[in-house]
Structure 1
Amino acid sequence: MNPKKLLLLTLSIFIFFTSNTFAEVTLPKILGHNMVLQRHKKVAIWGTAAPAEKISVAFAGQTKTTVADKSGKWSVKLSPMKASFTQREMTIKGINTIVLKNILVGEVWLCSGQSNMEYAMRKYSKFQTAVKGNKPPEDDLNTANNTNIRIFLDRRKYMAPSPEHLGWDTAIGRPIVDFSAVGYYFAKDLYARLNVPIGMISAAVPGSRIEPWIEASKLEFEPKLKNGKILDKLGTDDGDAGKFYDTMIQPLIPYTLKGMLWYQGESNCFLNENIRYAYKLKTLIESWRNDWKDKKMPFYFVQIAPYNYSASKDRPLTAEQLPEFWEAQKLALHLKNTNTIAITDLVDSIADLHPGYKWEVGRRLSLLALNKAYGETNVVYSGPTYEKMKIVNNSIEVTFSNIGSGLSSRNGRSLSWFTIAGADGKFVTAKAEIKGNKVIVSAPEVQHPYSVRLGWNEAAQSNFINKEGLPAVPFRSDNPWDKLFK
């Protein structure tokens, strides 16, 4: 053989074996120093290596071994563990050895959505100028000192594997500045009740619609209503389907989680969406749960805040567009282990798309998680929620769930933002009186009432609450979608 050809062949063989046989173990960005692992579940640890390379993962007295597949991918699952404040090391061995330090075991949640979820702690000064309710009890931006709350800020351009393994931080000092305020306060309040380490992953992008958060192929279907009507294919909406899923969600899979928090919808509300959004949200929930192989994973979302969408110059929206969107969000409650919080009372101006009461949003989400995900059923997590109505003479008797220790008026005045209509569908302002766990609604102009609504306007901030101070959830008894959604 020609000496030059022999040299080239030798070099080719050497390059092949060094790139495949001696490839180093690599970990995804989400696995790193300072992370929190989910308690009471099998914990996924994964990465890449050379094909057929033997890998071992040692942590907390257990060692799991595996062999990388033909493409170099490998994964193991650690056995379920109890919560632990002990700062332990994890050792991953292949051709090389990686040691991850300062790891805790506790509760891990993913929070995602658009700007109101991304809304960072650096905007703390806006919290201090909030008009309603209590201010945050302390300046967490400058005084936070709990090393048992850990945060991971998912940045779409920086999710590639990193040899430094430094994606996670303690929620103290500089790292907290850019982190989601809702996510941080959720963690802070959850920690106060559970007393276990809390890990929060924030993956949110300002202005994003829901479509970029869903794997594109999952949107390529035509929703069918229960009456047989078929909607247009969801994938035809120009929303950059899968854009953020590919770069921000997929790199997290299958990091073991307790649950997911979602605060998004303003961008889709501006597009005059209702039932179509309901199917997109359903698709997101089901597809993410499928990705994490946990069909029962808790998924909790925030009902977006009052805002004057009808002032939009881009589309002819009415003052009822937002209530209809709330209705679409609530249709996701047809899925098991989903729930929502209302924040109609946390707005100083309906001209502000980003109200500053993020500490209270985080607190309410923590109340919801405590009740539903952690079984603390004595925790009241929601304001009065419409259950049923009954026509009694010339009035409507409305029954509510989530009454807490009783129904009330926030300011002691007559209940506001109730309307009533006869069979003609013409709604008028109504008188509403509390009687036990019911509200009696009537209006002189409507002698034969047929339907009742609460807060059916983008500006509605009703004073109707339970005695725990949580606002009633807006509703209309003449909801056209509830019986059609599937």
Structure 2
Amino acid sequence: MKKILILFVSLCFCVTLFAQKKIKVACVGNSITYGYTLPDREINAYPAKLQKMLGDDYVVGNFGKSGATLLNKGHRPYMQQEEYHKAIDFAGDIVVIHLGINDTDPRDWPNYRDFFIQDYRALIDSFRVANSRCRILIARLTPIADRHPRFESGTRDWHDEIQLAIENIAKYAGVQLIDFHAPLYPYPFMLPDAVHPNVEGAEILAKTVYEGITGDFGGLRMSPLYTDNMVLQHGKPLTIQGTANAGDRITVSIAHQKQKVVTGMDGKWSVTLSPLKAGGPYTLVVSSGKQKLTYGNVLAGEVWLCSGQSNMEFYLNWSATAKCDVAKAANDNIRLFDMKARWRTDAVEWNASVLDSLNHLQYYKDTEWTVCSPQTAGNFSAVAYYFGKMLQDSLQVPVGLICNAIGGSPTEAWIDRSSLEYHFPAILRNWTKNDFIQDWVRGRAALNVKKSTDKLQRHPYEPCYLYESGILPLQQFPIKGIIWYQGESNAHNREAHEKLFKLLVDSWRKNWEDNELPFYYVQLSSIDRPSWPWFRDSQRRFLTQIPHTGMAVTSDKGDSLNVHPTHKQEVGERLAVWALNKTYNYKNVVPSGPLFKSVSFKNGAAYISFDYSEGLHASDNNEIRTFELSGDDQIFYPAKAAVVNGELKVWSDKVKEPTIVRYGWQPFTRANLVNGAGLPASTFRSDVK
């Protein structure tokens, strides 16, 4: 009995000693780990901040070496540095590695890239030899901003190649992957020299490591789009996603369906439900242990994102038919998620608090789904409302409308950073001074941020900004398609816009992982601005260049002096007929007015064929007007037009041998050609390819 008692006491003593033993965390890396450029790096480098987060049960060592490469044939191999040997002697129970940034140097990656994976695995193995029970976390590289002097000459591409190699290593070496890239990427002000995070950036890195080590991601959380009264996309498998602590068991239930999943090491979880039947109301319940989120009065139907600049933002209360339509707006089967800016880009100087919020992408007000009523619809987008109303009337299913339009915003503000870095990096550089940005846009932005002392101060009109603040938060929410009304802030440079618009559509489709996501947009209307005919024709040509798109022509509803024409019902409904015809297969619905198809020149006249040409006529029962002809000299003269055997014959006594025809080629046009559905023809010029 005495021996058993002694053995028990000894065991308790050993357990106590083991419990009191601190867990050693070795932070291995380069200057970013070391804390180079940080004031008081001993307390501000991410390992020091990690120590504070983990608490007294851990001891964190900083083994960062400025300039170190992962490659053993690189210009400063980490495994040949004193810091590496100290890290080995430390024999960490947990090892966090962030190496590879310096390997983007032209001395390294071009010559020795083939050794990167094996050198990284050798480094990992050496820590396992030092402590056979150690747990290893490797980090995706922190961003390198486009301001870096070698960005386009190789750094951008090599950085991405190294990211892929690190992901490969994590997959096959049995180590945990954490992400140092995504949390910093939308915040360029946190990389003052384009490479090294500032103090706030170091805090984010520490938090990322803390979450990776502890699995504490703050418990169950859902996208802000999940609220009572929401509309979930019906008719196809429905993905519900969120975050929770690593290893948490998540249960999702709705409409007699129940799915269970375990949260991954990265804190993310996802379930896919069978298609919901249109209608409701349903109750969606998401639970994790003691946490439970319940969403009531949920409908299943069609969800559309409505975006762009001020003509999409334009309220129903301001529209030409508001007095009649707002009063009749009550409809439980239309739900609105209205994302409004905290601060309009009016001609004012913003204070320091606003400027700081902008840098942190806190631009949109918190909101929630609401039932469509005179009170909610009146201050909602008129174009979006009329679009949704026509869909709901035609489809007889619930419709959810998400609106995040921002007045004055240029196209480039809505495109993801990676797309611009790879395909249009020049627009990112010195954006308030470069020639791609419209003068009005740069001038308003300069006024708004005049009080800022931060050279990297952000603004809603900055390239990427509205994508990062207004599109990324929507990423996890399934939608049916997009309607878009924008271009006024890019009409000065159609060539740049032709690149930007294609990048916009492509980046949004990537965001929702749907290459066929419908994208229906509004062609600019009429106003006395000289570049607009060229711009409208450029928009028309997107129809043949970008699949799964449609364009609502609005030149007949313009205003010669007002960039915000008030006739929005026609605009919303013209977008809706594209959706009804192309997305919902209502073939009896004509989606567009006449669209130029081809022209032949013979006997001194032009004979034009159109798509959607049945019933060509003048909208006002007068002569068809605004056609013009030219010869090879490209001097245009007014021409007469008449419908002949389904084609349009155009001629002019002043042009004996025409070679070019154009239509509606006035900034503010009185063009009047329509088809049998009463939809207007688009501006076009026959020789532009």
Which amino acid counterpart does residue 35 of structure 1 have in structure 2? M
CA distance in 2, matches of 1:275, 1:45: 40
Deviation of the 1:175 alpha carbon: 2.0
The CA RMSD over aligned residues, in Å, is: 2.8
Of 229, 238, 261, 2:483 maps to: 261
Contact 1:327 1:475 in 2 (8 A): yes
Q: Is residue 388 from structure 1 mapped to residue 585 from structure 2 by the alignment?
A: no
Of 634, 640, 648, 1:431 maps to: 640
Name the structure 2 match of 1:228: none
Which amino acid counterpart does residue 337 of structure 1 have in structure 2? H
Deviation of the 1:62 alpha carbon: 1.1
Name the structure 2 match of 1:133: none
Instruction: Decide which structure has greater helix share.
Output: 2
Of 146, 150, 153, 2:331 maps to: 146
Name the structure 2 match of 1:336: 547
Give the secondary structure class of the aligned counterpart of 1:345. helix
Give the secondary structure class of the aligned counterpart of 1:248. helix
Q: 1:206 to 1:263 in 2, by over 3 A?
A: same
Name the structure 1 match of 2:668: 459
Contact 1:33 1:166 in 2 (8 A): no
Q: 1:25 to 1:431 in 2, by over 3 A?
A: same
Could you report, residue by residue, the CA deviation over 1:380-406 in whole angstroms, capped at 9, with x for unpaired residues? 1211111111112111111111124x1
Name the structure 2 match of 1:170: 371
Give the secondary structure class of the aligned counterpart of 1:415. coil
Of 616, 620, 627, 1:407 maps to: 616
Give the secondary structure class of the aligned counterpart of 2:681. coil
CA distance in 1, matches of 2:263, 2:338: 29
CA distance in 1, matches of 2:264, 2:618: 62
CA distance in 1, matches of 2:647, 2:427: 40
Higher relative contact order (CA 8 A, sep 6+): 1
Which amino acid counterpart does residue 52 of structure 1 have in structure 2? G
Name the structure 1 match of 2:293: 98
Q: Is residue 206 from structure 1 mapped to residue 407 from structure 2 by the alignment?
A: yes
Which amino acid counterpart does residue 326 of structure 1 have in structure 2? R
Could you report, residue by residue, the CA deviation over 1:276-331 in whole angstroms, capped at 9, with x for unpaired residues? 2011110010111011011011110000111112xxxxxxxxx3x11111122233
CA distance in 1, matches of 2:336, 2:286: 22
Q: Is residue 355 from structure 1 mapped to residue 565 from structure 2 by the alignment?
A: yes
Of 418, 427, 430, 1:217 maps to: 418
Unaligned runs of 5+ in 1: 129-135, 224-231, 310-318
Name the structure 2 match of 1:251: 473
Unaligned runs of 5+ in 2: 1-15, 23-51, 59-209, 343-356, 430-435, 438-460
CA distance in 2, matches of 1:450, 1:63: 66
Q: 1:12 to 1:145 in 2, by over 3 A?
A: farther
Could you report, residue by residue, the CA deviation over 1:74-108 in whole angstroms, capped at 9, with x for unpaired residues? 22222222212x21101100130011000111111
Which amino acid counterpart does residue 90 of structure 1 have in structure 2? L
Mapping of 1:171-320 within 5 angstroms?
171-222=372-423, 233-236=426-429, 237-238=436-437, 240-269=462-491, 272-309=492-529, 319=530
Which amino acid counterpart does residue 179 of structure 1 have in structure 2? F
Contact 1:209 1:268 in 2 (8 A): yes
Which amino acid counterpart does residue 634 of structure 2 have in structure 1? G
Name the structure 2 match of 1:37: 232
CA distance in 1, matches of 2:396, 2:416: 36
Contact 1:120 1:181 in 2 (8 A): yes
CA distance in 1, matches of 2:242, 2:660: 57
Which amino acid counterpart does residue 208 of structure 1 have in structure 2? S
Mapping of 1:64-143 within 5 angstroms?
64-84=259-279, 86-95=280-289, 96-124=291-319, 127-128=320-321, 139-143=324-328
Question: Which structure: larger Rg?
Answer: 2
Name the structure 1 match of 2:242: 47
Q: 1:254 to 1:156 in 2, by over 3 A?
A: farther
Contact 1:186 1:363 in 2 (8 A): yes
Q: Using structure 2 for the length normalisation, give the TM-score.
A: 0.61
Aligned length: 441
Could you report, residue by residue, the CA deviation over 1:38-64 in whole angstroms, capped at 9, with x for unpaired residues? 111222222221122111111111112
Contact 2:337 2:403 in 1 (8 A): yes
Deviation of the 1:12 alpha carbon: 5.0
Deviation of the 1:357 alpha carbon: 0.8
Contact 1:234 1:280 in 2 (8 A): no
Give the secondary structure class of the aligned counterpart of 1:398. strand
Amino-acid identity (%): 34
CA distance in 2, matches of 1:180, 1:173: 13
